[in-house]
Structure 1
Amino acid sequence: MLLASFAQAEPLRIATFNTELSRKGPGILLRDILRDDDPSIASVVQTITAANPDIIALQGIDYDLELSALNALADALTAAGAPYPHHFAAPPNAGRQSGVDLDGDGKRGGPRDAQGYGRFFGQGAMAILSRYPIMTAQLQDFSTLLWRDLPGSLYPIIDGTPFAGTEAHATQRLSSNSHWSLPIQTPNGPITLLTYHATPPVFDGPEDRNGRRNRDETAFWVHHLAGEIGTPPQDAFILLGDANLDPTRGDGRGKAIAALLAHPALQDPLPEHPTASWSQTGPMRVDYVLPSRDWQVLDAGLIWPQGDAASRHALVWVDLTR
């Protein structure tokens, strides 16, 4: 019985990392990984290998339909001693052209007219690497949810008219990348990852389109956990990703992430630890790993990438057991 108890208590290390590996065109990231001489890719491989997580959510990695770039990165990690046999990515909103003038500049087809900012489909998207099987048949992908359909949506309405017009209002999705609920089969039973990468709350005009959307991308999870959108996790889960939102600093609507950090179903293993640093803003907390309350947190920390071409985000990891 004691041996069984110890087996059940085998810890899991869960991590999130905005790699900032996105390139300026399709196929370039795959080319750079295969060349095996790019300092930014070497930094990402070194950082993930040093953290050695069992499951990691990645942001800032370009999507392609064959997952060629993701698979190549996984091969590089295997060669460095960190094998991840299970990979997942799904078609994102990043760079997905809408056919509508979403940003209200009078033109169509620009990177800000995509459902999520992108010069090409899949630019700077999301992915999962795992040492355990990913239960893709049970995926809940909320990427098609319209922004206006979020309860309490802050879609900008100006003098009674939706920003950029009614066609944009009827077309704009909430997720700038994706919102996924993704179960993974671990040795101790299934767990669920709730993960996303929100738009930066800047680079817009007085309508605060990005700031409002950023807030709503985080507020989405409160509605999901309440059972108002999709089916909430029935077992242990972890909410993680890049919220692009600090609870107290920056131009974003910090109350949204503060509400999530205080949510009764969640715990915060690294309160008040900055996870990214930009020259314009200094250190800010924007990346999160938030386990559900039924986990026991054993340890948590950050690993900052090294090198001139390194990501400005730290890898955030948490060790968990049940």
Structure 2
Amino acid sequence: MLPATPAFAAPTGPNDGAGVSAPLLSETSLRVATMATNLSGEEPGELYRDLLTRTDTEALRVADAISVANPDVMVLTGMDADQDAVNSFISDYLKSPDDERSDAGYPYSYLAVGSSGVQSGADLDSDRIVGGPGDAWGQRAFAEQASTVVLSKYPINQPDVVSVSTLKWDEVAGNNLGSSELSGAVAASIPVMHNGLWDIPIEYRGERVHILAAQTEPAHSSYGFGALRQKDELKVVADYIAGEDYVVADDGAKAEGLDGDRIVVTGALAQRTESTAAALALGADLGRDDALNDSGNFVIPNQGWNVLGQGRIGAEAPEDFQLLPGATPEAIETSDLIWTDIQF
């Protein structure tokens, strides 16, 4: 299996942190939000070109929600990890002077690139030809396609970001691989994470906060093993937090655990009914039975936080303080923005 392209973090504008104006930053609480998007092109650079028109329908939809919520940390799943596209989205949609939308500024971004889009070396789509998107992990055309992008008003500690994207499924303790139809070289080489798990430390009020962003097996996946894999993806998230030795990061380091740290687990965590219970159980393990979710997207702070408010922003949803039920509606590819306000 070819190595995955590493993820990277970078400021999204000229400010280095010292130049972030005070009104951008919350003084009493941290608002973390996530949203499943379709901000993706069929080839590298296509999303950037689409965004340059300043009329991209999906970008406008996402920007509208972000403008209303104005979160401190925004986790976008399903977005191409293209720095030019991210910069264009911020300048032309979130901060455009030509619209009536309230500006939302993000001096920092993390563009996650994991195992999806990396060629498997096998005929995964059974078309008798090895190569192309159908034979890549995640069935993607290139590594950055439909990945995870994190926008932050607070500095991202780039050297300490941890990526878990190449961990093989058969290396997961007590895995469900044996119950799948996979065998041989594919079973021995398939990554457990559909794309990856990223531990992104931010500096907030003098303390380190771990934003754990993940994007698990999507609802549209044609893989018959998707539900089994997703359960083990959620297990990896929990075991990374617990510091289980088998969880090895892409740089070869073993998970050290985050006991006692401030954590927020977020992203597209459960697009399948069978995995909803596992995602909710993850919230319970973190001491948070009131974890917010919508269509499989979750924001789960651990028990080190006080939850001040939660909500969902969408075309037909109230904008503020709506607690969502534990049951996940029918899975869809895009979703409303969901947010949680937390405080320590």
TM-score (norm 2): 0.77
d(CA) in 1 for partners of 2:30, 2:276: 30
- Does residue 1:74 correspond to 2:84, yes or no? no
- Does residue 1:182 correspond to 2:208, yes or no? no
* 3-state SS, counterpart of residue 165 of structure 2: coil
Correspondence for 1:224? 240
- What is the identity, as a one-letter code, of the residue corresponding to 1:295? W
- Alpha-carbon distance, 1:217 to partner: 1.2
- Alpha-carbon distance, 1:232 to partner: 2.3
The structure-2 alpha-carbon separation of the partners of 1:201 and 1:38, relative to structure 1 and needing over 3 Å to count, comes to: closer
The structure-2 alpha-carbon separation of the partners of 1:182 and 1:203, relative to structure 1 and needing over 3 Å to count, comes to: closer
Correspondence for 2:170? 148
The structure-2 alpha-carbon separation of the partners of 1:154 and 1:202, relative to structure 1 and needing over 3 Å to count, comes to: farther
Question: Are the equivalent residues in 2 in contact too, given 1:62–1:126 (CA < 8 A)?
Answer: yes
The structure-2 alpha-carbon separation of the partners of 1:32 and 1:204, relative to structure 1 and needing over 3 Å to count, comes to: closer
Is the deviation greater in 187-196 or in 290-299?
A: 187-196
- Alpha-carbon distance, 1:91 to partner: 2.2
The structure-2 alpha-carbon separation of the partners of 1:97 and 1:311, relative to structure 1 and needing over 3 Å to count, comes to: closer
Question: Are the equivalent residues in 2 in contact too, given 1:21–1:41 (CA < 8 A)?
Answer: yes
- Alpha-carbon distance, 1:63 to partner: 2.0
d(CA) in 1 for partners of 2:43, 2:314: 27
Among 21, 27, 36, the alignment partner of 1:18 is 36
* 3-state SS, counterpart of residue 170 of structure 1: helix
- What is the identity, as a one-letter code, of the residue corresponding to 1:266? G
Correspondence for 2:299? 289
Q: How does 1:124-203 map to 2 (within 5 A)?
A: 124-156=146-178, 163=182, 165-200=183-218, 203=221
The structure-2 alpha-carbon separation of the partners of 1:190 and 1:120, relative to structure 1 and needing over 3 Å to count, comes to: same
- What is the identity, as a one-letter code, of the residue corresponding to 2:107? P
d(CA) in 1 for partners of 2:111, 2:169: 22
- Alpha-carbon distance, 1:288 to partner: 0.5
* 3-state SS, counterpart of residue 96 of structure 1: coil
Question: Are the equivalent residues in 2 in contact too, given 1:47–1:303 (CA < 8 A)?
Answer: yes
- Alpha-carbon distance, 1:266 to partner: 3.5
Correspondence for 2:58? 40
Gaps of 5+ in 2: 1-24, 248-254, 317-331
d(CA) in 2 for partners of 1:258, 1:245: 13
- Alpha-carbon distance, 1:100 to partner: 2.6
- What is the identity, as a one-letter code, of the residue corresponding to 1:192? H
Q: Output one character per residue of 1:160-200: Cα deviation in whole Å (capped at 9) or x when no partner.
A: xx61x421122211121210111001124210011101112
Equivalent residues, number: 289
* 3-state SS, counterpart of residue 243 of structure 2: coil
Question: Are the equivalent residues in 1 in contact too, given 2:283–2:302 (CA < 8 A)?
Answer: no
- Alpha-carbon distance, 1:214 to partner: 1.5
- Alpha-carbon distance, 1:262 to partner: 2.2
d(CA) in 1 for partners of 2:195, 2:177: 17
Task: Percent identity, please.
Answer: 30
- Does residue 1:304 correspond to 2:305, yes or no? no
* 3-state SS, counterpart of residue 116 of structure 1: helix
* 3-state SS, counterpart of residue 39 of structure 2: coil
- Does residue 1:99 correspond to 2:121, yes or no? yes
Aligned CA-pair RMSD: 2.5
* 3-state SS, counterpart of residue 262 of structure 1: helix
d(CA) in 2 for partners of 1:8, 1:122: 31
Correspondence for 1:123? 145
The structure-2 alpha-carbon separation of the partners of 1:48 and 1:101, relative to structure 1 and needing over 3 Å to count, comes to: same
The structure-2 alpha-carbon separation of the partners of 1:232 and 1:91, relative to structure 1 and needing over 3 Å to count, comes to: same
Question: Are the equivalent residues in 1 in contact too, given 2:219–2:333 (CA < 8 A)?
Answer: no
- Alpha-carbon distance, 1:85 to partner: 0.4
The structure-2 alpha-carbon separation of the partners of 1:38 and 1:82, relative to structure 1 and needing over 3 Å to count, comes to: same
- Does residue 1:267 correspond to 2:293, yes or no? no
Correspondence for 1:257? 279
Correspondence for 2:261? 235
